């Protein structure tokens, strides 16, 4: 039997659409609203392989559960995740991976837009087609964006009726704050291999959790802002990354930590190096003693935290 595939083509549009800083994107009432609802839809889908385009399985492509995604495994396939780190494929692999997520967001956003009444539908459909994944510019503002640092948010939903105006619902769980897992059985099976026992028990993703497992976005802020905690964080990334972009002539040296002149090496100060620092200090609280490791610090589970995207 031929296995069903999902072509990653990008969002169909007549012209490229810009990806915006999340702090600007969140001020767009139509696109931000649809983006949140699309993410809620993705996160509400099943976690098993019968829902390969749901949030859990798409996030799992990056690491655990270490199973084939929409393909049959060949005998020579390596065990482990699809994601490549420390190699020349690091940057190019992540591009279609982010494109997959963006494509799924727009598909869900279009489905939601078509539920609005006749009077509003065209406006929401156009907004849905123009959605692109926003970015967090931590070199300009290293604080966790306001729109994703709180557990609840507001969304505007379609109302039943041919010309019924949309209705705003307040206090909805914020899908960008965390991903809430559905079954402990899957976490036990898929997360135990990562080696962080708390992640098997936690019912949602964590950012800089304390010893009780409570997330602390303000700790992320401090770790990316204070040189005594992280000498190369936040705005101090600007100069070395500018030099990477303008002075480094080798793609290997520019792109990944595994490159060294003439031979592989694990410590190259590359774009991946700075990327790794953001992962680490977004995930784990290094300021308070006895704190637990957060999801962004572990490659195998980092994509489950919505801030990853």
Instruction: Round to whole Å and give the CA distance between 112 and 50.
Output: 22
Q: Prior bond to 108 cis, omega within 30?
A: no
pLDDT for the residue numbered 261: 59
| Secondary structure class of 166 (helix, strand, coil) | coil
| Secondary structure class of 106 (helix, strand, coil) | helix
Instruction: Round to whole Å and give the CA distance between 200 and 189.
Output: 8
306 CB burial (10 A radius; 0-12, 13-18, 19+): buried
**Domain boundaries along the sequence of the chain:** 22-177, 187-304
Report yes or no on whether pTM surpasses 0.85: yes
pLDDT-flagged residues of the chain (< 50): 1
Q: Which residue has the tokens 């595994």?
A: 258
pLDDT for the residue numbered 51: 94
Instruction: Round to whole Å and give the CA distance between 158 and 108.
Output: 14
pLDDT for the residue numbered 54: 97
Give the right CATH number for 22-177 from 3.30.420.40, 1.10.1280.10, 2.60.40.10, 3.40.50.720: 1.10.1280.10
The per-residue b/e assignment along 202-218, b for 16 or more CB within 10 angstroms, e otherwise, is: bebbbbbbbeebebbbe
pLDDT for the residue numbered 281: 93
pLDDT for the residue numbered 233: 54
Instruction: Round to whole Å and give the CA distance between 253 and 203.
Output: 39
């Amino acid at each position: 039997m031929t296995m069903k595939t999902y072509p990653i083509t990008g969002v169909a549009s007549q012209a490229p659409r810009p990806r915006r800083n999340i702090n600007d994107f969140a001020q767009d009432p139509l696109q931000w609203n649809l983006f949140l609802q699309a993410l809620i839809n993705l996160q509400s889908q099943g976690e098993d392989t019968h829902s390969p385009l749901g949030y859990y399985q798409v996030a799992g492509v990056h690491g655990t559960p270490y199973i084939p995604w929409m393909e049959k495994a060949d005998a020579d396939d390596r065990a482990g995740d699809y994601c490549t780190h420390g190699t020349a494929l690091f940057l190019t692999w992540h591009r279609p991976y982010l494109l997959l997520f963006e494509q799924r967001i727009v598909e869900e956003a279009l489905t939601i837009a078509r539920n609005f009444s006749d009077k509003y539908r065209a406006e929401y459909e156009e907004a849905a087609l123009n959605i692109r994944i926003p970015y967090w510019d931590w070199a300009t503002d290293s604080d966790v964006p306001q729109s994703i640092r709180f557990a609840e948010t507001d969304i505007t939903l379609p109302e039943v009726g041919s010309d019924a105006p949309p209705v705003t619902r307040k206090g909805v769980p914020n899908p960008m704050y965390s991903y809430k897992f559905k079954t402990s059985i899957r976490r036990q099976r898929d997360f135990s291999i990562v080696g962080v026992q708390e992640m098997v028990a936690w019912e949602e993703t964590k950012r800089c959790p304390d010893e009780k497992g409570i997330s602390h976005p303000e700790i992320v802020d401090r770790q990316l802002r204070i040189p005594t905690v992280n000498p190369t964080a936040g705005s101090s990334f600007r100069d070395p990354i500018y030099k990477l972009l303008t002075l480094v002539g080798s793609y290997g040296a520019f792109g990944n930590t595994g490159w060294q002149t003439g031979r592989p090496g694990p410590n190259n100060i590359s774009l991946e190096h700075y990327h790794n620092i953001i992962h680490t200090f977004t995930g784990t609280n290094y300021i308070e003693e006895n704190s637990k490791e957060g999801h962004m610090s572990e490659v195998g589970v980092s994509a489950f935290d919505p801030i990853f995207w």
